[in-house]
């Protein structure tokens, strides 16, 4: 069989669509009722095998037809999709031996009536191809718009996968190199299908081989002992992985695509069929997922790694600040998904990239982002509730994180998308010398423990609302009441008195 060339830039045409054109008068008289046409070819040669590309509707009047079985066998070997036999001028009817041969070899045989010219059949096929191409372009355009809209959602990676599952009417999943499912949409596949998808994912995104890392063992010498010479990298001898792979299980079409080369991620798909345009739609999704899952880096990666190593080895924060881009100011942002949806590393990275920083982390449902620069650059982000600290030097980041935590709680309690910590400067408070204000605050709040102090600060900031304080601190409202009652007892103060509240608020605002 000749080598199959690349298909034409048009989707294949089902033979049934051509037969459905009543003006042509075509009739299938032998062979299966399903076939897909890639092009049309006319030949009166005794053996047209050398000139066929595969997928043709071959039209002939049987001028040199002698041995029907050999003729049909050669057409099937060449990959012809169907045979169209013209009645007249050579034959009055389709030869019975040809009908039998097409049935025997499984080649659809179409009778072309005398009044229908071969050129008319060819024009009909090209017209059907043009219509199919137009439908495919419209479908791809709609899918591209839908996927781009999904990529702009607060949860871009799951949203893109859900939209892709809708477009392909199948199961899609973002897998790690070891087969772990990061996100999925479109139902659960059978165990054997999942196993096959995992194997495909490992083909396009193989696990990274472990590399030897030097140990930082204690040494009496103040300098680190030199590491042994690294062994030659096996990657030079390893065959490059394919960007995609396909398979089939029980009529289910399986495929996997590498996402963002080198990241160890793969997009796996299980679909009931492969329609025209599916590959293009999937390619759009792969590009979007590669962008969404790429490691967005705002500072130099080597500098951040060096800063981390130095901190682990005991360096002071102010000494490593230049490696992170300077001593500051820095802003801490804490965020949670609106509606209580869990956050993950991909969402955290996407939010950090949207805010302009690669320094992000996720702890359960809370995402923390460290931004270089002042907080004025932070804007509300759809689908997220944000709490923003005041700008702080690198040595004061723990306090900035506490400020972001309070701001996030305040935003959730007041149902606002963003709350920013405002330092207690200016106004009447500026008239009191800082040392005297701090001394007064320490003396007044001395009886309170840290949980009581934080609860009192939050309760006063929310104008004494039990419910909002409970939301902000993520505790039960009865716990809020108990703590506030305990504060009143320890302070021996009436917390309903505005003078008392004002004095406490002034003290709680001190550093």
Q: Please state, in angstroms and rounded to a whole number, the distance separating the CA atoms of residues 370 and 351.
A: 11
pLDDT at residue 212 tops 60: no
Mean pLDDT of the chain: 81
Instruction: Check if the beta carbon of residue 260 is closer than 8 Å to that of residue 290.
Output: yes
Average of pLDDT values for 369-388?
81
Would you give the distance in Å from CA 164 to the centre of its chain?
Answer: 10
DSSP single-letter state for residue 392: B
pLDDT digits (tens, 9 = 90+) for 217-255: 333 333 333 334 444 444 445 556 678 888 888 888 888
Nearest in space to 367 (alpha carbons), one of 333, 409, 339, 401: 333
Average of pLDDT values for 11-32?
92
Q: Please state, in angstroms and rounded to a whole number, the distance separating the CA atoms of residues 251 and 401.
A: 54
Say what the pLDDT of residue 375 is.
Answer: 66
pLDDT at residue 266 tops 90: no
Residue scoring higher pLDDT (315 or 14): 14
155-169, 277-291, 373-387: segment of lowest average pLDDT: 373-387
pLDDT at residue 439 tops 50: yes
Say what the pLDDT of residue 220 is.
Answer: 38
Say what the pLDDT of residue 402 is.
Answer: 87
93-97, 200-204, 353-357: segment of lowest average pLDDT: 353-357
75-84, 259-268, 302-311, 423-432: segment of lowest average pLDDT: 423-432
* Burial (CB count within 10 angstroms: exposed 0-12, middle 13-18, buried 19+), residue 91: middle
Say what the pLDDT of residue 210 is.
Answer: 47
Nearest in space to 469 (alpha carbons), one of 423, 406, 420, 424: 406
pLDDT at residue 2 tops 50: no
Say what the pLDDT of residue 214 is.
Answer: 38
Q: Please state, in angstroms and rounded to a whole number, the distance separating the CA atoms of residues 76 and 1.
A: 9
Say what the pLDDT of residue 112 is.
Answer: 95
Say what the pLDDT of residue 176 is.
Answer: 83
Say what the pLDDT of residue 99 is.
Answer: 95
Q: Which residues contact 103 (CB under 8 A, 6 or more apart)?
A: 30, 31
The most confident of the ranges 176-180, 234-238, 310-314, 431-435 is 176-180
Average of pLDDT values for 490-511?
84
pLDDT digits (tens, 9 = 90+) for 107-137: 999 999 999 999 999 999 999 988 888 888 8
Longest dimension (CA), the chain: 115
Residue in the block written with tokens 């005297």: 436
Residue scoring higher pLDDT (223 or 468): 468
Task: Provide the pLDDT confidence category of residue 426 given band limits of 50, 70 and 90.
Answer: low
pLDDT digits (tens, 9 = 90+) for 384-423: 889 999 888 877 888 888 888 888 888 888 888 888 887 7
pLDDT at residue 194 tops 50: yes
Q: Which domains does the chain have, with CATH numbers?
A: 13-128 (3.40.1390.20), 153-207+241-293 (3.30.450.30), 301-420 (no CATH), 427-508 (1.10.10.2840)
CA 22 vs CA 32, 92, 112, 124, 130: distances in Å: 20, 21, 12, 11, 19
Say what the pLDDT of residue 415 is.
Answer: 87
Say what the pLDDT of residue 319 is.
Answer: 75
Average of pLDDT values for 418-444?
75
Print the SS3 string covering 161-203: HHHHHHHHCCEEEEEECCCCEEEEECCCCCHHHHHHHHHHHHH
pLDDT digits (tens, 9 = 90+) for 327-348: 568 889 999 887 777 777 777 7
Average of pLDDT values for 14-21?
93
State percent of the chain over pLDDT 70: 84
pLDDT at residue 259 tops 80: yes
Residue scoring higher pLDDT (282 or 243): 282
pLDDT at residue 188 tops 60: yes
Nearest in space to 507 (alpha carbons), one of 411, 436, 413: 436
Instruction: Check if the beta carbon of residue 35 is closer than 8 Å to that of residue 81.
Output: yes
């Amino acid at each position: 069989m000749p080598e199959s060339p690349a298909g034409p830039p048009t989707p294949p045409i089902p033979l049934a669509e051509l037969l459905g054109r009543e003006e042509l008068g075509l009739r299938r008289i032998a062979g299966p009722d399903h076939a897909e046409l890639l092009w049309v070819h006319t030949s009166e040669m005794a053996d047209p095998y050398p000139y066929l590309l595969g997928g043709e509707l071959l039209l002939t009047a049987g001028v040199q037809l002698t041995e029907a079985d050999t003729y049909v066998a050669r057409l099937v070997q060449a990959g012809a999709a169907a045979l169209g036999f013209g009645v007249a001028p050579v034959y009055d009817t389709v030869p019975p031996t040809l009908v039998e041969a097409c049935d025997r070899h499984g080649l659809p045989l179409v009778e072309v009536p005398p009044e229908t010219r071969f050129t008319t059949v060819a024009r009909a096929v090209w017209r059907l191809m043009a219509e199919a191409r137009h439908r495919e372009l419209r479908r791809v355009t709609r899918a591209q718009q839908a996927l781009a809209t999904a990529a702009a959602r607060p949860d871009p990676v799951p949203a893109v996968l859900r939209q892709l599952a809708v477009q392909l009417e199948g199961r899609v999943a973002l897998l790690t190199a070891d087969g772990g499912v990061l996100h999925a949409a479109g139902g659960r596949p059978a165990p054997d299908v999942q196993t096959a998808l995992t194997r495909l994912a490992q083909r396009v995104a193989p696990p990274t081989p472990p590399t030897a890392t030097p140990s930082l063992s204690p040494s009496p010498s103040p300098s680190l002992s030199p590491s042994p010479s690294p062994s030659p990298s096996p990657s030079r001898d390893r065959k490059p992985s394919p960007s995609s792979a396909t398979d089939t299980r029980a009529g289910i079409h399986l495929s996997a695509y590498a996402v963002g080369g080198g990241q160890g991620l793969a997009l796996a798909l299980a679909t009931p069929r492969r329609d025209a345009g599916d590959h293009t739609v999937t390619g759009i999704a792969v590009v979007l997922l590669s962008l969404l899952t790429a490691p967005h880096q705002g500072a130099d990666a080597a500098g951040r790694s060096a800063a981390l190593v130095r901190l682990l080895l005991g360096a002071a924060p102010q000494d490593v600040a230049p490696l992170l881009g300077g001593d500051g100011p820095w802003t801490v942002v804490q965020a949670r998904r609106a509606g209580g949806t869990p956050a993950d590393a991909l969402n955290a990275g996407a939010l950090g990239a949207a805010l302009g920083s690669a320094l992000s982390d996720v702890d359960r449902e809370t995402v923390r982002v460290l931004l270089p620069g002042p907080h004025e650059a932070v804007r509300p982000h759809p689908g997220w509730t944000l709490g923003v600290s005041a700008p702080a030097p690198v040595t004061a980041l723990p306090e900035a994180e506490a400020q972001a935590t309070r701001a996030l709680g305040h935003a959730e309690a007041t149902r606002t998308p963003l709350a920013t910590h405002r330092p207690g400067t200016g106004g009447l408070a500026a008239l009191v010398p800082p040392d005297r204000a701090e001394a007064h605050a320490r003396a007044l709040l001395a009886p309170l423990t840290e949980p009581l102090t934080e609860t009192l600060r939050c309760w006063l900031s929310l104008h004494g609302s039990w419910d909002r304080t409970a939301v902000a601190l993520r505790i039960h409202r009865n716990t809020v009441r108990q703590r506030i009652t305990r504060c009143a007892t320890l302070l021996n103060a009436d917390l309903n008195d505005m003078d008392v509240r004002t004095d406490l608020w002034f003290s709680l605002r001190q550093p």
